[in-house]
Structure 1
Amino acid sequence: MALDRAAQEPGMALSLRSVRKEYGGQVAVDMITLDIAPGEFMTFLGPSGSGKTTTLNMIAGFVQPSAGEIFMGGREISRVPCHKRGIGMVFQNYALFPHMTVEQNVAYPLKQRKVPANVRRERVSAALGLVQLQGMERRRPAQLSGGQQQRVALARALVYRPPVLLMDEPLGALDKRLRETLQFEIKRIHDELGITFVYVTHDQDEALLLSDRIAVFKDGRIEQVGTAEDLYERPATTFVAEFVGDSNVFHGTLAASGTSVRLDDGRELRVPGCGASSAGRGAAVVLRPERARVLVYGEAAQPSCQRLSGVVASVHYMGSARRIEVEIDPRRRMLVKEPADRPSGVHPGDPVDVCWQAEDCAVILSDEGHGTHREPATRRPVSAT
């Protein structure tokens, strides 16, 4: 049932209210409600098939929602044709006209809107300057690199000054170095123009770098919306904890004291206090690998240190960091990331201890008791040091 229009959040660039999309009885997007502020850089992050691109296409008008409403600037647009929404769009495959020059491609949206020729020239020149393609006006797409073609597509989407720009995996076809360069260019352009960007990606690092806020999608639903720091430091679900960056996740039951979690094998991990009233609830302990240290077996550590013993399974040099996997038992491995300039002194087969502070963990509580681990209703925010 659609939410009453009077209940829409005022002043939002985009609002989605209980939006749902079905294809032949299969639910692709399931009752999504989301507000995006004017000038915000919002990223839809999730694995393939999670519903992020379908949601973007419903905002663009390429796909009609099965239920719910979409508002732009307070105006309901759910049934407005895509060409009347005035939304800019950038695709992964550029979608440039091969027979047109760069200048003609960028000018095309203005020509369709019957903008006078002298104004078109000024706006095209400004748009090409924004994406740093001055002097390439006469070239055709085939004469450009992939990065240059994507800049043309971005200029074409911005030339008519849309209030909202949608981008669907725009850098997915580019190599790593070029993709990283264009990420900073996109962020610069957003900061310079101040318009609303909605960006789809499955690249976690890209989302963390670019976004004001991120909506994490899974199975057609939004798991969590927040800043990069919110998602990384205070994940609301184990899916978010495991999808956004690397993590070590331990499942168990919150003990009676509310300050430890009992694992399946009977071991207890100290955690920040969750309150005795939550005792008995299923709990997931999340530890980011850079918050842990590997100590030579028996090496002294701070008294407050939580430690698990194991054997080094692998050590990989990654440039800025060293990635160490430690087998705690036949069913569990822990990942530790240490700065590469810190001598580790450990090798595969060495007995070691993995050490960390309880305050460096996040605790995710579920509604059910031990063993169920359904989506948590609450979380315990923890500021890691």
Structure 2
Amino acid sequence: MKITDISLDRLRLELDPPFRAAWDPVPRGHFDATIVRVHTDEGITGIGSGDLMDGFGTYKHLFVGEDPLDITRHVKAIETASFHGAPYWPLEAALWDIIGKVHGRPVSELFGNAAKKLPAYASSGELKSPEERVATALKVREAGFRAMKIRIDRNRVDEGVAAVRAVREELGDDFDIMVDLNQAWRMAGDTADASDLAKTRKIIARLAELDVFWVEEPLPYADLDGFKRLRAENPGVRIAAGEMHHSVPELLRYLEEDALDVYQMDVVLAIGMHRARTLAELAQLKHRQFTPHSWTNGIGVLANLHVSAGVGGGPYFEFPYDPPGWTPERRDFMLAEPVRVDADGCLEVPDRPGLGVELDEDAIDRWRVK
């Protein structure tokens, strides 16, 4: 089998009203997605998505003519190309989609087959008042979720903690709450400094009183010693990070230094599926957890799900969901059916070969950037 071509469909969904993501400098009025298709001489096509694949045309020749099943070779080639360009991990997802289709099995089975479904947590995206966050939390629980993640702005800490407290009081102790401080990295144009260690320590101490399940991205990635200190000082609160950490050696250092309780590498944004599996298994061997970030679109959600279910990640899987601003219909506009949780708040691995992606070609034609 040979790769005959790699094609990209660049899509843009206009968002009205805009989505006010907590990590964005300005509200986003559109949602971009790039669909990667790897075509082969045997008629099998692999599909991936996640990062926007900017500049990939320069490197397409590294893969065309090669056997798509030579995944180790391709992972190394993607790493060399990504060093000079953008994160091209959606290509690896498309290659795994081919491998699963060739073998007639879901990719998660090839990654270890540890689980057929995972409990999901509703991952909020917007900053909301305590009253609004409680209303959303009630909808989340009604949809079947047993956990949710709440964003806190470093400049509006009191309001954020109040939102966590309100949800805790309304939904009780049997509903898990995660908190994301979004301090590890910055969107383009966000030049504000991260909260310093002293301020972050105070925030986590307040959240510990509310029995949060974990605190995510509390510090910049470079502050390894700070992460270790936060863990040591707050034994009742898990510390999570790593979603956009592109450096495998640095993630290995985090593991060696035992800096985190929960590792969150996104397989289509950070280090790819193959490397994420390796690091996830190392984390589990150290009695630490792997729960990948999954804030792209439904294809990226599925790629992360296959790896997490394959290795037995958990205890929850991230499901971007914050109605009405962020819904499966908006997130998965390119799919025939949005990816959804079941009535018990679990995300099932599709039983179709590969990643289980079913595209809506009419939607792709409608939203394709000309």
TM, length-normalised to structure 1: 0.26
Greater helix share, structure number: 2
Greater strand share, structure number: 1
Bigger-Rg structure (1/2): 1
Larger RCO, structure (CA 8 Å, separation 6 or more) = 2
TM, length-normalised to structure 2: 0.26
